[in-house]
Amino acid sequence: MHSHTPDEDIAITDDLVLESLGYKPELKRSFSLFGMIGFAFSVLTCWTALAGSLVVGINSGGPPVIIWSWVGVSLCSMAVAYSFAEICSAFPVAGGQYSWVAILAPPKYARPLSYCCGWFILIGFLSAGAGNGFVGANFVLGMAQMANPDYTIERWHTCLVAYLLLVLAAATNIWGRRALEKLSQAMIIFNIVSFVVVIVVILARDNQKNTASFVFKDFQNFTGFGTAYASLLGLLQSAFGMTGYDATAHMTEEMKDARNDAPKAIIWAVWIGAITGFFFLVAVCFCIVDIDAAASTPTGVPIFQIFESATRSFALGMLLSVQISIISLVSLAFLCAQSSRLAFAFARDGGLPFSKFFSKVDRKSQVPINAICLVVAINMALMSIYFGSVTGFNTILAISTEGFYLSYIMPLAVRLWGRWTGKGPEFLEGSYNLKFGVWLNIIGVLYLAFASITFNFPSTYPINASNMNYTCAAVAVSVLIAAVTWFTTGSKQFSGPQAGAMLQGHAIHAHHIPHSVDGSLETQIMDHKTMDPVVDNKVHSE
C-alpha cells in the first residue's frame, strides 16, 4: 500500500460516494471551487440576462417593478439555492434534481417522479440552449447593425449565426475540455470587471439621468391590463434572469471535493448574481433616455441602444456591447457543457431512447461526445422554428424557464415530505446542513409554484393568436412526451440512482470515511464493493 496525498484521498472519497449511488466514475475531476463558481455564474450571469429582457419589465410596471421584483425574486431564489446546496452536498451526482427525487421520494413513486423531473430539466436545458443561441446571435448581429446602420437584420441571418455559435460551443466542449476550467476562472474575473466598467461608464457619461422617483416609485403600465396584473407580469423579467443555478449540481462528477465545494459554488453564484443584477438594474433605470427608441432599435437589442444613448458615444456604446456579448457567447459553451452532462446522466439511467449510445464517454478526452452532439442537434432544431414563426419560438423560450422551475419544485417537495413524515434519509454529519431548512424549503416551493403559474399568463391585452402565451400548451406537450416515453421505454429501462441500497445499508456511510495516508481508504473502497453486490453489479455492468 502506498500513501495518499490529501487531494488523492478527497478524490477517492468522491468516487466512493458516486459508486455508492451505483455509478462508475468516468468523467475527469478537474474543476476547483473557484473554477466552478466561475462556471456557475457564467451560466447564471444574471445582469447580462436581465439586459436582454429589460423591455418586458419596462412595459409591465416600469423601473419600480423591475427593481423591487428583482429583490423579491432574489430572496426567494436564495431559499431554493440553499435548499439545493444541502441536498447536493449529500448526493453529488450529475443527474441533479431528478436523481435527488429518486433518492428522496416515497419508494413507490420514486421512479416515475424522477423520470418526469428528468424530462422537465432536459426540456428546460434544451430550450435554454436554443434561447441562448438566439440571444448570442442577436448580440453579434446587433453589433454589426450598430457598425453599419444600413444593414437590415433578417430572421434567417439570426438562425444561421445561432447555428454557428452552437457548433462553436460544441467544438469547445469536445476539443477544448481541458480549457473549460481555466476559461471559467478567467470569465468570472472578466464578468465582474465588465460589470463594473458598464456601471461606471453609463453613470459617468449620462448627463440626463432620471429621477429617483422614476426609478423607485413611479408605476408604468403599457400592457392593457390592470395595475395588479401588470405587476405580476413584471415579475417574469426577474424570474427569467434568475434561472440555471442548478448548474453546479450537474457538474459535480467533474469537481474536486464535490461534497464540500459544490454547495458553496451554488450559493456564491446566486449571491453574486443577485448583487450584480440589482446594481445593474438600478444604474440602467437611471440612464434610460427613451425606452420607446430602445424597444424599436434596428439592432434588435434594446440594451445596445441604451448604452449608446447614455454614453453619447458610438465607440463607448460599442465597447460596452462587445463586453456583454463576449459574456453571452462564452456562457453558451458552459451551458452546452451543463446540458450535455445532464443528457449523459439521464441516458446512463436509461431515461432516453438509445440510452447506451448517448451515455458513452470518450476514453481519451473523458467527455460524453455523443451527448454533446445530441444537445446541439436539438438546440439547432428548436432554433429552426424561428425561421417560420416568431410566436412559436417565443413559446420555446418561455418553456425553458417553466421547465427549470417545475424541476426545481420536485426535489424540494419530496425533501419536505421526508422532513414531515420522518421517512426521508437522514442527512449525515459532514454534509451541508441548514438550521432553518424546513422554512427555506417551504418558501422555495411556494415561490416556484407561484412563478410556474404566472409564466402561463398572457402579457398583452387585447389577447389574440399572435400574442397569446402558449406556455401551458407547450408544457402539456412536454408532459405528453414524457408520458409516452415512460410507457414505451422508460418504465422498463429507467433505473435512477441505487437509492434503496444506499439509504438503508452501509453504502451511505461513504460520507463518514476519514482521509487516510496509509492506503486504508483504498482498502475500504474494495471492501465496500465486495459487500454491496447491488452497487457493484451496476457499476461494472457496462
CATH for 31-492 is 1.20.1740.10
The Cβ of residue 190 has, within 10 Å, a number of other Cβ atoms equal to 17
Place of cell 429583490: 71
pLDDT at 526 (0 to 100): 43
Query: What would the DSSP string read from start to end of 373-404?
Result: HHHHHHHHHHHTHHHH-HHHHHHHHHHHHHHH
**pLDDT at 189 (0 to 100):** 93
Flag residues of the chain having pLDDT under 70.
1-9, 11, 52-53, 55-59, 223, 295, 391-392, 423-431, 466-467, 498-542
Which pLDDT score is estimated for 278?
A: 94
Distance CA 408, CA 411 (A): 6
For 220, 258, 281, the CA distances from 345, given in Å and listed in that order, are 46, 16, 37
**What does the pLDDT read at residue 522?**
41
Q: Which three cell numbers stand for residue 221?
A: 403600465
Q: How confident is the model at residue 143, as a pLDDT?
A: 93
CA 155/CA 138 separation, integer angstroms: 10
Number of residues that this document lists for the chain: 542
Report helix, strand or coil for 220: strand
In degrees rounded to 5, what are phi and psi of residue 176?
-115, 25
The position carrying cell 445593474 is 280
Cell numbers at 532, concatenated: 454491496
pTM for the model stands at: 0.85
Q: Do residues 457 and 230 lie in contact, with contact meaning Cβ atoms separated by under 8 Å?
A: no
Cite the beta strand spans of 311-351 per DSSP E: none
Nearest C-alpha neighbor of 353 from the set 32, 92, 122: 122
339-359 in b/e form (b: 16+ CB < 10 A) is: bbbbbbbbbbbbbbeebeebb
Counting beta carbons within 10 angstroms of the beta carbon of residue 333, is it exposed (0 to 12), middle (13 to 18) or buried (19 or more)?
buried
The structural domains of the chain, with segments of one domain joined by +, span 31-492
43 by Cβ neighbours in 10 Å (0-12 / 13-18 / 19+) ranks as buried
